[in-house]
């Protein structure tokens, strides 16, 4: 009897984090580009840039995921970044990330090739992280493949640092993940990263993990929040 062998797929990546109280805001986009949160009315524009059906974007917005984008001088979306709180599926490693109440997770970002290397993605990371901080989050996460140098550099420029390396053996819609802490990574972030990967339905976090949640910091109330979307910004001007 011959049993067909399935291709073994291993994803090598790392969880990167930014401590939002250390965020250095203020990096703008290139002249002529405009950065704002995507409203449901702009779902079609984002879907065009991402090359997905509009229903994908509308479905994500409807379940509470948020997107930030940079519009080019020609008024088309040139770069985007999705951000979730609560929980989010990380499809490349077949896991659902269980975020702590003070955490946010950036995912499924991209820049249209003609607009790359203009710091658009870096400015999106900073802007979205700034909004998350103003809304009471302390840590923002993202997962980056080891081969993705451009994403790593943009995250480093935006103040993110690698925390936990992962080798994920993909098994259908699940995975076996081996992790290794990054040298000199903040131990509290390493602990948070390990808990992130355990998912929402697995065993409850132990007292050590919960201790990390108790260290919430104060958030500045005088920091100006970014306008929610482009039309609100225009109205405010
Ligand atoms: C990753 C991606 C979103 C970056 O978008 P971007 O708007 O060009 O990013 P930025 O201009 O802000 O930063 C890119 C950085 O990578 C560098 N870079 C670009 N291509 C590179 C490459 N092949 N190797 C190494 N570095 C590279 C740039 O010089 C820049 O670094 P610097 O600011 O230190 O000079 C874009 O390349 C992309 O859409 N890739 C495909 C999808 C993807 O990988 N998404 C991210 C998933 S985490």
Tens digits of per-residue pLDDT, 110-168?
999 999 999 999 999 999 999 999 999 999 999 999 999 999 999 999 999 999 999 99
Mutational test site, ligand 1, from 150, 157, 166, max ligand atoms within 8 Å of CB: 150
Ligand 1 centre distance from Cα of residue 33 (Å): 17
Q: How many Å apart are CA 233 and CA 55, to the nearest integer? A: 26
Distance of CA 230 to the CA centre of its chain: 21
Reported pTM: 0.85
Confidence of residue 200 (pLDDT cuts 50, 70, 90): low
Is the CB of 72 within 6 Å of ligand 1? Answer: no
Is the CB of 154 within 6 Å of ligand 1? Answer: yes
Residue nearest to atom 21 of ligand 1 (CA): 150
Q: Which atom of ligand 1 is nearest to the CA of 79?
A: 7
Give percent of the chain above pLDDT 70: 79
Confidence of residue 216 (pLDDT cuts 50, 70, 90): very low
Q: Which atom of ligand 1 is nearest to the CA of 144?
A: 48
**Is 203's pLDDT higher than 90?**
no
| DSSP secondary structure letters along the chain | -PPPPPPPEEEEEEEEEEEGGG------PPTT-EEEEPPGGGHHHHHHHHTS-HHHHHHHHHTT-EEEEEE-TTSSEEEEEEEESSEEEEGGGTEEEE--TTEEEEEEEEE-GGGTTSSHHHHHHHHHHHHHHHTT--EEEEEEETT-HHHHHHHHHTT-EEEEEEEEEEETTEEEEEEEEPTT--HHHHHHHHHHTT-SSSPPP-HHHHHHHTTPPP--SSSPPPPSSHHHHHHH-
Radius of gyration of the chain, Cα coordinates, nearest whole angstrom: 18
**Is 208's pLDDT higher than 80?**
no
Ligand 1 centre distance from Cα of residue 215 (Å): 33
Q: Render pLDDT for 166-191 as a digit per residue (tens, 0 to 9).
A: 999 999 999 999 999 999 999 999 99
Q: Render pLDDT for 66-95 as a digit per residue (tens, 0 to 9).
A: 999 999 999 999 999 999 999 999 999 999
Q: How do 34-37 and 66-71 pair as beta strands? A: antiparallel
Is the CB of 175 within 6 Å of ligand 1? Answer: no
Compute the average pLDDT of residues 218-224.
30
Compute the average pLDDT of residues 192-220.
50
């Amino acid at each position: 009897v011959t049993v067909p062998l399935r291709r073994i797929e291993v994803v090598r990546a790392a969880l990167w984090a930014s401590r939002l109280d250390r965020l250095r805001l203020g990096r703008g986009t290139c002249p002529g580009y405009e950065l704002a949160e995507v409203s449901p009315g702009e779902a079609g524009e984002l879907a065009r840039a991402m090359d997905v059906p509009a229903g994908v974007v509308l479905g994500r917005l409807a379940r509470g995921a948020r997107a930030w984008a940079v519009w080019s001088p020609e008024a088309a979306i040139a770069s985007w970044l999705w951000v979730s709180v609560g929980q989010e599926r990380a499809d490349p490693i077949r896991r659902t990330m269980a975020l702590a109440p003070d955490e946010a997770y950036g995912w499924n970002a991209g820049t249209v090739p003609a607009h790359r290397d203009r710091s658009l993605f870096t400015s999106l990371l900073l802007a979205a992280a700034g909004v998350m901080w103003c809304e009471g989050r302390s840590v923002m996460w993202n997962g980056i493949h080891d081969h993705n140098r451009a994403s790593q550099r943009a995250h480093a420029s935006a103040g993110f640092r690698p925390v936990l390396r992962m080798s994920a053996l993909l098994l259908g819609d699940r995975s076996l993940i081996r992790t290794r802490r990054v040298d000199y990574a903040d131990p509290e972030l390493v602990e948070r990263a390990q808990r992130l990967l355990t998912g929402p339905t697995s065993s409850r976090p132990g007292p050590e993990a919960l201790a990390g949640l108790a260290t919430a910091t104060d958030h500045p109330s005088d920091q100006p929040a970014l306008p929610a979307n482009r039309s609100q910004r225009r109205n405010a001007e």
